[in-house]
Structure 1
Amino acid sequence: MTTKRCTMPFLRACAALAGVALIAGCASAPEGAAPKNSNGWVKDEVSDSYVFAYPLVLMDVSREAATGNAPGQAASNTLRNAQSLPPVGASSPPEPNLDTLVSTGWLDLGNEPVLISLPDTHGRYMDARALDMWTNVLWSTATPANERVNGLKAQTIAFVPAGWKGTLPARVKRIDVSTRYAWFIARIQTRGGADLNAVRRLQRGLRVAPLAAWDAHGKRAAQAEAQSGAGLSGDPVETGAPAARVAALDANGYFNRLALALEDNAPVPDDQHALKILGDIGVHPGDGAQLPSGSKDMAMVNAGLADGRTRVATPPSNLLAGNGWLWIGDDAGNYGPDYSLRAYAAWASPGLPTSRDEVRARVAQDSDGHALNGANRYVIHFSAKQLPPVRGFWSITAYTTDGALDGDAPVRIAFGDRNGARRNRDGSIDVHVSAERARGGSNWVPAPKGDFRLVLRMYAPKPQATDGSWQPAAVERQ
């Protein structure tokens, strides 16, 4: 089966055209769009605006859910450190990560820069990134490309609010941020068990604080606020719950939250046409939404909202695809005007990094197009030349159809090349997927007994993982 992919120059054109079509406006309505003298345009523009705004609304809800003084929350400009891997049956966030422990925090740049110091990992794999409120990756350890594969060196990054003119400590990398808030995520590879202690020591070396808490030599002052999150398990930010909250918002709730979030987190200048369409439906930064309120108009508003929800959760046509697997290619983390891809990425993979950091491919059907189910046994045969192309490492994990770890599983493991993968004589690898342990017990991905999906994670992937020249092997039913 071939990989579905535009050539690279054409793909960029596809993304640009997708953005233009999404926000087609008053000057030249797209073919088939409702004329302005009817109220059909309300549905179209509400739907388009929902898709455009989804990442910001989701990030705003996520930040609100994660920051504060309530149990499970942390103050802005502090980190929460996951202390153990997620337990069997974990479901929040969707598709809990079994390869790494996560440290994460929400940065508030409203008053001054916020600095983050990363420790020397002494050869252990670690990746880190920061996203603006539109889910664009501002900075990550993907540059230089090979550094994090053999461990990170100690470094400090300053996230600076737009227009700030002050002086930073020496040897600090400056990253300018156009939104008031940013989301920081760091993942440290672990094998679980006793190895978790080494990761926890590295987590204690992560430091975050506003500029006022740092001295001129780039050291965090003693009075800086301590990090939080001891005792947490799994990914500490519950991205699944915010997504459900966003899906439950009615039109007024959704666009009111958007209008308030826009006041501190403006889109880029190229998005001005999208802002004009928001104005058409009565949404202006900082003001309460004034959506069309006639009875017929409200029906169109609600229809547009429903259409927008469906579009956000629908894989866009420019995903990479092969052998039933779907994954986001080179545009991950830097979406430009491709609002459909950006919204889908935020919905499917909150906090998604760039394609140089990590690739996540998903499959829910076998090579014959049937749903994966734990009543069957499957094999994924990677030839020696078809192994996942990574500079770091790769793993495969099975989840229920709603993204949870199987609550009945005897073990919780992510099978991959760093936990005992056995090769055949020709260098190939056969990965066995089943509810019961495979014969011989090697290269086994434990699967739920009902329908399930697989996620292939590739850390520090090589270019062929995202340029369309490679695809994962098919999942064959035995």
Structure 2
Amino acid sequence: MIKNRRELFSIHWTCASLAGLAFLAGCASTPTASQKSTGWIKDEVADSYVFGYPLVLMGVARDAAVGTDPGQAPLNTLRHAQALPPIGAANPMQPSLDTFDSTGWLDLGSEPVIVSLPDSHGRYVDARVLDMWTNVVWSTSSQFATRAAGIKAQTIAFAGPGWQGELPKGVKRVDVPTRNAWVSVRIQSNGTRDLTAVRKLQRAIRVAPLSVYAGDTRSATIAPPRSNAADAAAAAAASGTPAAQVAALDANDFFSRLAQALPDNPPTPADPHALKFLSDLGVTPGEPVKLPKAPEAITAGLADGHDRVVTPPSNLLTGNGWSWFGDGVGTYGPDYALRAYAAYAQPGIGTKDDEVRAVVTQDSDGHALNGANRYVIHFAPNQLPPVRGFWSITAYTKDGALGESAPARLAVGDRNGARRNRDGSLDVTVSSTRSKSGNWLPAPRADLKLVLRLYAPKPQATDGSWQPPAVVRQ
């Protein structure tokens, strides 16, 4: 079974070159469906599911987050988190306890949207914009190369496909290949004591369509495009994370959402071969879906697609039981397996220069982590997380939620009092029961996962030359 686009299309072109052997299994160039077995249907459903998963997931996430209900915000506006941990209808799993996040969805269909960021005066701020295929089209990460943290005031215009026009002086243009885009601004917090300073920065962020920014207050926000399939899916799966909602879609609903999203959000990079596979299945951009009449093959292909999306790809970095994304994250190119898994496992993840999230679910002996036990993570003096910003470790349930009985202090890191040993090393104790250790990380009283976050990581965090230490049971 093929795992990503590189393998997929090397096979495709090999088959295409064997003109006399076009009947071989797996060749997408076979002339008619009547000449194919249903095996090709299963394979192409699975391949197309992996290819289209990020776009469908982003569409579901947008539909859940855009609106006027509590926890939502209209298009071209931001929703500001007001508490840690964040509360609201559109919260991600594994919520960060280090930053107050301001998030929103942009509609670039008729004109650019202007995002203005204030000078953070040295406070860590990470801002990024993702297109609908989860590629990072812009972020503040490049500014960390010369600054330990913080950003200067700046104004950026995000322009949709084909827009031509003039921008106000001093506004930087960034082209986005999709009609919609997701924006996130994360402001580092030192706890409730500096909430006033965080909110002041939040209020200073401005998001507005170009016409509003230029003074035409009559400009109206445009509703995101929705299909009948989107409405049906929203009604059928009104609760749960976007990933859970996508997993609940049957093949017809999934590919209907994909077909309706494609006209406004063409593939990046442009990929006629992937679109040919979709066409083989009766999936045409902007048209009703007409899947082949092979329900068993379609069901099997959908199941295979599900499995491939949630399976870590081979190019994930691993060490001492931890796993994390390396250099390819955020700019995936044709690596569809990595892109789909990143969208599923860490929605909204930035580039290797924005953030690293290393995850571990087992101790050094290969046993599942559980809060009933006591663990120690020992960072040698030369093994501390390599960052330009800061780092932290948080414990979650195995499903990515915070433990209900955990106290208010839920993270350990270099910005919240982590104490080093005399030799410069650092120990973090993980347990559901209070530890005398100064670096105690409260954990759920059940199976758990740990997430180590590196904000503005240094290159060695993603090039394989550094890895987190093992989690050792005491």
* TM-score calculated relative to the size of structure 1: 0.88
Partner residue of 1:282?
282
Are 1:344 and 2:341 counterparts?
yes
Judging changes above 3 Å, is the alpha-carbon distance between structure 1 residues 210 and 324 closer, same or farther for their aligned structure 2 residues? same
Are 1:461 and 2:461 counterparts?
no
DSSP 3-state at the match of 1:101: strand
Q: Deviations over 1:18-76 (max 9, x none)?
A: 4221356654359x955663110100000000000000000011111111233332211
CA apart distance, 1:88? 9.9
Aligned runs of 1:352-367 on 2, under 5 Å?
352-367=349-364
Judging changes above 3 Å, is the alpha-carbon distance between structure 1 residues 90 and 96 closer, same or farther for their aligned structure 2 residues? farther
Judging changes above 3 Å, is the alpha-carbon distance between structure 1 residues 84 and 222 closer, same or farther for their aligned structure 2 residues? farther
What amino acid does structure 1 have at the position aligned with 2:377? I
Asked if the contact 1:323/1:474 (under 8 Å) is kept, the reply is yes
Partner residue of 2:272?
272
Q: Deviations over 1:61-107 (max 9, x none)?
A: 11111112333322110111011112699994210110000001100
CA apart distance, 1:240? 5.8
Greater shift after overlay, 330-339 or 262-271?
262-271
Are 1:183 and 2:182 counterparts?
yes
Partner residue of 2:418?
421
Partner residue of 2:243?
243
CA apart distance, 1:192? 1.7
Partner residue of 1:201?
200
Partner residue of 2:470?
474
Structure 2 distance, partners of 1:317, 1:55, is 19
Aligned runs of 1:48-447 on 2, under 5 Å?
48-86=47-85, 92-146=91-145, 149-215=148-214, 241-293=241-293, 297-440=294-437, 442-447=438-443
Asked if the contact 1:313/1:344 (under 8 Å) is kept, the reply is yes
Partner residue of 2:233?
none
Structure 2 distance, partners of 1:339, 1:402, is 24
Greater shift after overlay, 41-50 or 407-416?
407-416
Judging changes above 3 Å, is the alpha-carbon distance between structure 1 residues 205 and 239 closer, same or farther for their aligned structure 2 residues? farther
Judging changes above 3 Å, is the alpha-carbon distance between structure 1 residues 90 and 290 closer, same or farther for their aligned structure 2 residues? closer
Judging changes above 3 Å, is the alpha-carbon distance between structure 1 residues 69 and 147 closer, same or farther for their aligned structure 2 residues? farther
Q: Deviations over 1:336-358 (max 9, x none)?
A: 11100000000001100111010
What amino acid does structure 2 have at the position aligned with 1:398? A
CA apart distance, 1:148? 5.9
Asked if the contact 1:377/1:477 (under 8 Å) is kept, the reply is yes
- Listed as ranges, the gaps of 5+ residues in structure 1 are 1-14, 227-237
Partner residue of 1:20?
6
Structure 1 distance, partners of 2:280, 2:248, is 24
Structure 2 distance, partners of 1:89, 1:177, is 28
Judging changes above 3 Å, is the alpha-carbon distance between structure 1 residues 110 and 224 closer, same or farther for their aligned structure 2 residues? closer
What amino acid does structure 1 have at the position aligned with 2:279? G
Judging changes above 3 Å, is the alpha-carbon distance between structure 1 residues 274 and 91 closer, same or farther for their aligned structure 2 residues? closer
Partner residue of 1:12?
none
Structure 1 distance, partners of 2:144, 2:58, is 27
Structure 1 distance, partners of 2:196, 2:267, is 41
- Listed as ranges, the gaps of 5+ residues in structure 2 are 17-23, 31-35, 222-237
Are 1:38 and 2:42 counterparts?
no
Which structure is richer in relative contact order (CA contacts within 8 A, separation 6 or more)?
Answer: 1
Partner residue of 1:449?
445
DSSP 3-state at the match of 1:105: strand
Asked if the contact 2:102/2:184 (under 8 Å) is kept, the reply is yes
DSSP 3-state at the match of 2:14: coil
Structure 2 distance, partners of 1:180, 1:278, is 21
Aligned residues: 443
Q: Deviations over 1:409-441 (max 9, x none)?
A: 12342100111111111110011111112124x
Greater shift after overlay, 386-395 or 149-158?
149-158
Structure 2 distance, partners of 1:119, 1:156, is 9
What amino acid does structure 2 have at the position aligned with 1:309? H
Structure 2 distance, partners of 1:344, 1:396, is 22
What amino acid does structure 2 have at the position aligned with 1:179? T
Q: Deviations over 1:185-218 (max 9, x none)?
A: 0100002212112101100000000000123xxx
DSSP 3-state at the match of 2:192: coil
What amino acid does structure 2 have at the position aligned with 1:300? A
Structure 1 distance, partners of 2:123, 2:12, is 54
Asked if the contact 1:89/1:404 (under 8 Å) is kept, the reply is no
Asked if the contact 1:92/1:239 (under 8 Å) is kept, the reply is no
Structure 1 distance, partners of 2:269, 2:130, is 18
Asked if the contact 2:70/2:89 (under 8 Å) is kept, the reply is no
Judging changes above 3 Å, is the alpha-carbon distance between structure 1 residues 291 and 431 closer, same or farther for their aligned structure 2 residues? same
> CA-atom RMSD, angstroms?
2.4
Greater shift after overlay, 263-272 or 387-396?
263-272
Asked if the contact 2:70/2:88 (under 8 Å) is kept, the reply is no
What amino acid does structure 2 have at the position aligned with 1:131? L
Structure 1 distance, partners of 2:241, 2:71, is 13
Asked if the contact 1:88/1:412 (under 8 Å) is kept, the reply is no
Structure 2 distance, partners of 1:223, 1:83, is 30
Give runs of ≥4 in structure 1 deviating > 6 Å: 87-91, 220-226
Judging changes above 3 Å, is the alpha-carbon distance between structure 1 residues 430 and 248 closer, same or farther for their aligned structure 2 residues? same
Judging changes above 3 Å, is the alpha-carbon distance between structure 1 residues 181 and 88 closer, same or farther for their aligned structure 2 residues? closer
* TM-score calculated relative to the size of structure 2: 0.89
DSSP 3-state at the match of 1:195: helix
Structure 2 distance, partners of 1:247, 1:171, is 44
Partner residue of 1:9?
none
Partner residue of 1:234?
none
